[in-house]
Amino acid sequence: MKQFEPSIAQSTAIGASRGRRWVVSRPIYAAAPPPPATAPPPAAALPHAAAVAAVEEEEVVVDYEKLAKGLESASPLEIVDEALKRFGGDIAIAFSGAEDVALIEYARLTGRPFRVFSLDTGRLNPETYRFFDAVEKHYGIHIEYMFPDAVEVQGLVRSKGLFSFYEDGHQECCSIRKVRPLKRALKGLRAWITGQRKDQSPGTRAHIPLVQVDPSFEGMGGGIGSLIKWNPLATVEGKDIWNFIRTMGVPVNLLHSQGYVSIGCEPCTRPVLPGQHEREGRWWWEDAKAKECGLHKGNINANGSQEVVINRDGALRTNSVNGVADIFETQAIVNLHRQGIDNLLKLENRVEPWLVVLYAPWCGFCQGMETSFVELAEKLSGSGVKVGKFRADGDQKQFAQKELRLGSFPTIIFFPKHASRPVKYPSERRDVDSLLAFVNALR
Ligand code: SF4
């Protein structure tokens, strides 16, 4: 196995972290015991006395950008080994109950001791709970489960019901059931290992590094920069993970054999069809750009979009600072601005019916249907049906949701010749024949 020596730097450049090397580890959920009622208020910087006695620290500055580059040709096994070697008992694998079980297998293969934690949201599929049990027995480990705060869950469910995420988005529920328990877990660690892969989400995971200073969460040292995030599978493709899992005889979640690829909570996860992207099975009623539950929110940039757009010929286009390269660019598709779509909404008798895609150019699913929609537009050219596109993100989103029935991107609507309200295309099938059947049924 290759050795990756730490790169010691003199200053804290971007991507470098002044880390403390703790010689002892604490349980993930451990908090310092409260002071006695009679004691004076403790100085925030003073750790608990027992910890002072047990902990020895040395200042090390590691350039994690440089380390990530050095790991580019390393295998996942080598990266997991490196992570465990550096952080010992202060690092844990975040296990979601899906194919990231491969991380546990890699950890086993290193021969080093390792810890695993998981977030039990209370809304997982029965198959996932069985899978956790099978993994514990297979590896002889105890997964350190993290649970949401009961009072917070109670407050949410009593005020908004059990399925509020379908109405007002998944962030609130995910924040209570996932993000806050994760924060508590990470506060007991100096590093964590995730199963994130670049190929999991064209919208949010295209740029994840093999190792990084965690851009969002804090570790036990406190403050941004106190936690290191390892993504040993970042550059591995899903099919290679599956080959590894099968070869090693690792237990798998039975949901995978029912068409589930990406697995989360039961109400927010569904199977995908062959050829559909795995993230289409998660929070399918929302924008692609929001398809992170908050566990990896550092993947979403400040304006909520991905950095790169993929052309339909597969070439990459880079976002500009103020705009995103457009899609559906063909003479057969009319680019409608707000006034144009307003006019369409007002007309009761149109000269021609219109088929319009509501889209956002950064959306991976819009990019995914670009080829078929352009082909459809070219087929309909001169047929008496006009085809248009309306960019419905940003300032236009609220209007599109209210007036145009925008759900998630892309939404396709049809303005019949003699009706004022548009008809929404109800299917997720975006091939030319299915779209054409819809148009022909309504024209
Ligand atoms: Fe709640 Fe769904 Fe998020 Fe699970 S995935 S925490 S059920 S919103």
* Ligand 1 in reach of 267 Cβ (< 6 A): yes
pLDDT of residue 21: 41
* 299, 319, 345 - which closes a domain: 299
> Residue 59: inside a domain, yes or no?
no
| Average pLDDT over all residues of the chain | 80
- Residue nearest atom 4 in ligand 1 by C-alpha distance: 265
Q: How far is the CA of 173 from the centre of ligand 1 (A)?
A: 5
Distance CA 62, CA 113 (A): 23
Q: Which residues constitute the domain of residue 137?
A: 64-299
Distance CA 150, CA 393 (A): 36
User: Is it the case that residue 246 has pLDDT exceeding 80?
Assistant: yes
Give strand pairing partners of 359.
391
Band of residue 270 on the pLDDT scale cut at 50, 70, 90: confident
To which H or E segment does residue 118 belong? Answer: strand 116-119
Same domain? For 133 and 201 the reply is yes
> Residue 319: inside a domain, yes or no?
no
Tokens representing residue 231 in the block:
């993504």
> Residue 305: inside a domain, yes or no?
no
Same domain? For 187 and 274 the reply is yes
* Ligand 1 in reach of 295 Cβ (< 6 A): no
Give percent above pLDDT 70 in the chain: 74
Same domain? For 145 and 254 the reply is yes
Total number of domains constituting the chain: 2
Distance CA 119, CA 180 (A): 10
Same domain? For 69 and 175 the reply is yes
Q: How far is the CA of 174 from the centre of ligand 1 (A)?
A: 5
Distance CA 225, CA 207 (A): 19
Buried b (16+ CB within 10 A) or exposed e, 8-44: eeeeeeebbbebbebeebbebeeeeeeeeeeeeeeee
Segment among 107-121, 242-256, 359-373, 411-425 with least mean pLDDT: 359-373
What number of other Cβ atoms are within 10 A of residue 141's Cβ? 18
User: Do residues 361 and 325 lie in contact, with contact meaning Cβ atoms separated by under 8 Å?
Assistant: yes
Task: Pick the atom of ligand 1 nearest to 177's CA.
Answer: 6
* 282, 299, 316 - which closes a domain: 299
- Residue nearest atom 7 in ligand 1 by C-alpha distance: 265
pLDDT of residue 11: 35
Same domain? For 149 and 251 the reply is yes
User: Is it the case that residue 322 has pLDDT exceeding 80?
Assistant: no
Residue at 23: amino acid letter = V
pLDDT of residue 52: 42
- Residue nearest atom 3 in ligand 1 by C-alpha distance: 174
User: Is it the case that residue 34 has pLDDT exceeding 90?
Assistant: no
From 223, 215, 214, select the one nearest 191 (Cα to Cα). Answer: 214
